[in-house]
Amino acid sequence: MASGVMDKSPDAFRTISEVAEDLDVPQHVLRFWETRFNHIKPLKRGGGRRYYRPDDVDLLKGIRHLLYGEGYTIKGVQRILKAEGVRFVQGIGRGEQSLAALQPEESGVHPEEDAPISEGSLPEEGDLPLPPQRELSREALRGLQRALEELYECDRVLTSLRSSGDVAAVE
């Protein structure tokens, strides 16, 4: 962790680079998560610089844990946020809350359904046919999830450039 982060008060706002380093994810992943989780709302100052409040950081830590630590999909985390609320996911980020507290019958969140990247999972009906299944380690699955998120972010940037007419930047 950067020494600047350690010197700050726990209540201080964090820059995107500080949060990315703290969560061990690239900055573009944090920007991508903003597009998928409307609860992430960093303060934006001049030039579009993002500043994350302590509650924002806790939420991001919870989202990261659910995605990378527990193997949930983005859709699964969205369901948890809708069913359990932001405070629940922030509690996960702070280590105060456990997934054991989820009540699948009441919340509509079912880990086995919302985490299709777990070992032995099958594609949903209508997906392209896959080659014969082989066992992947949990770490390999996490790597694939991160790569997919990066591809979504690249697609978003390319779509934005195309719609702005800045095609030369794309080619």
CATH value at residue 71: 1.10.1660.10
pLDDT of 59 = 94
In a domain, 129, yes or no: no
Cβ neighbours, 10 Å, residue 14: 22
In a domain, 156, yes or no: yes
Which ranges of the chain have pLDDT less than 70? 1-7, 9-10, 101-136, 166-171
| Mean pLDDT rounded to a whole number for the chain | 76
Q: Looking at the 3D structure of the chain, how many domains does it have?
A: 1
In a domain, 126, yes or no: no
pTM higher than 0.75: no
Residue 51: strand pairing partners: 15, 43
pLDDT digits (tens, 9 = 90+) for 135-151: 667 777 788 888 888 88
Angle, to 10 degrees, between the axis of helix 16-23 and the axis of helix 27-36? Answer: 100
CA distances from 122 to 32, 117, 118, 126, 144 (A): 26, 9, 9, 11, 15
Residue 119, both tokens? 């070992």
In a domain, 53, yes or no: yes
Q: Encode 81-115: b = buried (16+ Cβ within 10 Å), e = exposed.
A: beebeeebbbbbbeeebebeebeeeeeebebeebb
DSSP, collapsed to helix, strand or coil, labels residue 154 as: helix
In a domain, 145, yes or no: yes
What is the domain extent for residue 24?
3-118+135-165
pLDDT of 6 = 54
pLDDT of 10 = 67
pLDDT of 30 = 92
